[in-house]
Chains A and B, each alone.
Chain A
């Protein structure tokens, strides 16, 4: 049995990742619609129902994502006659795959020890994990720009070009904003970063990224929202003006772009949790139980600590998903020149300054 355990564990961690990404993406579309309805004093989607006996079971509209998928899968797939069919069909895949595989380096729980062997709750523990995240997520721009290009539609082309320009611009600030954290924790490996965030500053404050690098948190969150092309940075879509790069897509090909967007929301939430909010760490919870800085504590078994920590990760993940949805329905859209000037003239210099100051402080602390 012990021989098979590592393979079974691979299934567990891969399945865990896919369950988080695919299992949450559907409910997130529901949450987005339902939450926007609440914000705007509407009722929102609540018609889809399953009839059991004489009773209709509506589940607060939770069946809508299901009904949507069935609709998208069975819808006629129209293709513009002048479109480049090969690139047109390829683009949704190029858009979805980076969103799916970025999560591989995010640890969604602490190592589980079975018979003295540690099994990680992380699909890939790469030495250059954060670089991997940036490398893979930088590929998403191909899906978007190819979709705009291959559609042979002026509005789609506009959307594709806007998206490409915006994603290139904000990638720089996004990468630089993280480097301060990398300097402070001295590692590029997300699991080691989460481990380091279990330390305490001044004996009581958890050494979470947001306390160590508050400016980097704001910079990264802004850049990540722009990278994800959500309001207030939804110039590539601008549903009231150009519809965007997927205007010519129908059926499940559109569905894949839609899915990619929500999976990216989850990935951004996971990244924020991991880098800035201690990942699966709970303040004062050590490997053997709670140890409070004001004295006292509570001993817990390994299993209980593991379950608590996975729960903490999921809770933080859900919070940041919710937070991103709320932002979307709170803020108005930027103008295009404002987006560009924010990216290049504000975020980039500020993140560079943040990096230089952090480097100086780290050097001074080590000296």
Chain B
């Protein structure tokens, strides 16, 4: 095997693939990246039994072949190379990397021992790259990071003929985002649960593409693929049934507040400085203003008052500042509406939509994003 390409393309390809490799692999070969050259293209791939990352770049192809080398070492070398063309060749049982006057030799790993990688399921449709990236970020913020509840570390994606509906919850928050998409032919309505971490990584790295291709094939395939710009992420889906969240959205509210997000976020951050971790920030909504306050065990305290548009009953409620801020920043709009019923019932944050704003409203002007946050019980 032998090929040539420019330094940046090589470094990007290796870095993108090696990034997902396990630091403590279950089997040693999965710490490696596979380099495969065929027909003027280099395919770099890494697989840890859960996630497959694969990237294709055009190269000057001298001879085809397939080898396995340490991903981390190759990525470090590629990153450090001078800005010259790179020549990579198998020499005996080593991989030689030459760039300018630098020369490296890496031992080859046993490519025959590499696990069989999953097939990419049949193409299901496409979604706009920037919309996909925003939507995934808006939803994964509410996904659980607690591995003891595996299901909640996933994002549920519901597939309908004209929309993808993403939702995630960690039992304290719940986020939901509707995204238009273009299914290929007739894709059956169904839902899948995608590991939030992988989905988030894929959306970030593919979001710059105009379109991202989704491939999840038919029911029971067990994998979903995201492809754009020659990059492909394939991940195992989570088994099981997602929590029933549809009924958790409140159907009415007794108090609503419309806030300008930036100053409100700043005020919450300031007041929460004195609140210890896991302690609530208290908010009293009343007559077009909100009073924010927090106090700590050592009797330090903070207060701030803001003008906001309040409709309905006065209300005092407590929040974990982090959970509230996640929702306020995720709405991606200048203004948001907070809808309350009682302090112990869910609060819903929605963007105040401008017309024809594709990030926050669909073609009929309906909101496409909502974030539910549970309050904290206040003492006394």
Are the chains A and B members of one assembly? no
